[in-house]
A and B are shown apart, each in its own frame.
Chain A
Amino acid sequence: MHYEYAIEGGNFSKAGLASSEVKKKLRQLNVDNQVVKRVVVALYEAEVNIVAHAYNGTMNVEIDEEKILLVLQDSGPGIPDIEKAMEEGYSTASPEVREMGFGAGMGLSNIKKNVDHLDISSEIGKGTRVEMITYINRGR
Chain B
Amino acid sequence: MKVSELVNNLGLKVYSGESGIDKEVEGGYVSDLLSDVMGNADTGMAWITLQTHKNVMAIASLKDLACVILVKGLEPDPDMAAQSDKEGIPVLGTSGQAFEITGKLYEMIKK
Contact = CB atoms under 8 A, between A and B. Distances in A.
A102 interface: yes
Given A13-B79, A100-B53, A20 B33 contact: no
Interface in B15-54: 32-36, 38-39, 43, 49, 51, 53-54
A16 B36 contact: no
Contacts of A114: 39
Interface in B62-101: 62-63, 79
Contacts of A101: 32-34, 49, 51, 55
Interface size class for chain B? 10 to 19
B7 interface: no
A68 to B, nearest CB: 16
A138 to B, nearest CB: 20
B40 to A, nearest CB: 9
A91 B44 CA distance: 30
Contacts of A23: 62
Contacts of B36: 104, 106
B58 interface: yes
A37 B33 CA distance: 19
Contact of A100 (B34, B39, B61, B79): B34
Contacts of A107: 35
A19 to B, nearest CB: 6
A105 B34 CA distance: 10
Interface in A37-71: 37, 40-41, 44-45, 48
Mostly, the A contact residues are: helix
B59 interface: yes
Contacts of B49: 101
A104 B55 contact: no
A44 B62 contact: yes
Given A44-B38, A104-B34, A106-B36, A16 B51 contact: no
26 contacts: A12-B54, A13-B54, A15-B58, A16-B58, A16-B61, A16-B62, A20-B62, A37-B43, A40-B63, A41-B38, A41-B39, A44-B38, A44-B58, A45-B35, A45-B38, A100-B51, A100-B53, A100-B55, A101-B49, A101-B51, A102-B55, A104-B34, A104-B36, A106-B39, A110-B39, A113-B39
Given A40-B62, A101-B33, 4 more contacts: A23-B62, A45-B38, A48-B34, A100-B53
